[in-house]
């Protein structure tokens, strides 16, 4: 390679719940939830709900929502 480069991966060390929390802190929770794609079948938003990626995404979102609810009590 002629030039060196650095790849930044700020979400790499965050779990799914922490990623949802960050999206919420950045006022981007609905954008991330509705417009991003993690589904193996190409379904945006909440996805198909059946593939491993969708299940992991929903598990992380539910975990974040539960943590947020407990903090607000």
Q: Is residue 45 within 8 Å of 34, Cβ to Cβ?
A: yes
pLDDT at position 73: 85
pLDDT in tens, 14-67: 999 999 999 999 999 999 999 999 999 999 999 999 999 999 999 999 999 999
User: Residue 1: its pLDDT value, please?
Assistant: 64
Domain range list for the chain: 16-72
Which residues have a Cβ under 8 Å from the Cβ of 57 and sit 6 or more positions away? 16, 38, 46, 47
Calculate the CA 52 to chain-centre distance. 14
Rg, Å, the chain Cα set:
15
């Amino acid at each position: 390679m002629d030039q060196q480069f650095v790849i930044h991966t700020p979400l790499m060390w965050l779990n799914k719940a922490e990623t949802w929390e960050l999206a919420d802190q950045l006022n981007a929770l609905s954008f991330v939830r509705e417009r991003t794609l993690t589904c193996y079948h190409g379904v945006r938003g909440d996805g198909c709900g059946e593939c491993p990626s969708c299940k992991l995404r929903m598990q992380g979102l539910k975990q974040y929502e539960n943590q947020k609810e407990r903090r607000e009590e």
